Amino acid sequence: MDMPIDMQHQAMGYDRTATMFSPEGHLLQVEYAEKTVRLGSSSIGMTCSDGVFIIADKRIEDKLIVQSSANKIHEIDSHLISSVAGIVSDARVLIERAQVLAQQHRITYDSPIEPELIIKDVANIKQQFTQYGGARPFGVSLMIAGINRKKTELYTSDVTGNYFSYYVNAIGENDEKIKAKLREKYNSELSIKKGVKLGLEIFKEIQEKNFEISRFELVYIKNSDEKLKRLEGKEIEEFVK
């Protein structure tokens, strides 16, 4: 038996409107946005005994593109970095807001901003776009890593506007597979070098024949100097030897 026309229209309303709950309690447009995030390229963020890092698969293979113009890991401040998965243009808006917020904090208080203040602001914006009509949700998951008073911090916010603090996390394509392996192999005593090596081993295991070190980008911050350092491709290979 076919569904009556008026019921079809009602069901399509739940499907197309970001602010309308379905009878099952779902915001379907938000759930679709979460699927978009899982199509994005992968990143792993990890807190280590001597600092914090994010390693990301840039997934850029076109030789016509200038590689330095397609960075996957963004500098928020000298002590704070971010990686994204999903719609990169959506992420750019949030990253630029985070950069402005970090600089305003330095000017106002003459001190580096706490990572949680950044992720909370970003998460609040994401939440607003799931609640008010006339706009779609941000189709992006955002990971922030940084140093706060010589201590490492790592946060991830999802499409809904939730955020959590992590010891180690992954976003993007195959994130559940990556996290399953991280649960088995991660420990807090790992140094940045050993952590990066573990991350690359997991990427290689999951990507198999598609794995190429030239596709990867690494940014790390040590507790001792709180300054970020960026490595790409073969430089990462030399770093973990």
Give the mean pLDDT of 216-226.
94
- Say if CB 191 and CB 215 are below 8 A apart: no
Judge whether 170 and 44 are in contact, CB under 8 Å: yes
Q: Is residue 125 part of a domain?
A: yes
Closest listed residue to residue 122, CA positions, set 76, 190, 191: 76
Q: Is 25 a domain residue?
A: no
Mean pLDDT confidence for 117-140: 92
48 belongs to a structural domain: yes
Chain mean pLDDT for the chain: 91
Nearest to 171 by CA among 43, 83, 8: 43
Domain residues for the domain of 160 are 42-239
CATH of the domain at 101: 3.60.20.10
Total tally of structural domains belonging to the chain: 1
Question: What would the pLDDT profile of 22-80 be if each residue is shown by its tens digit?
Answer: 888 888 888 999 999 999 999 999 999 999 999 999 987 777 888 777 889 999 999 99
213 within some domain: yes
pTM of the model: 0.91
Structure tokens at 156: 């991830």
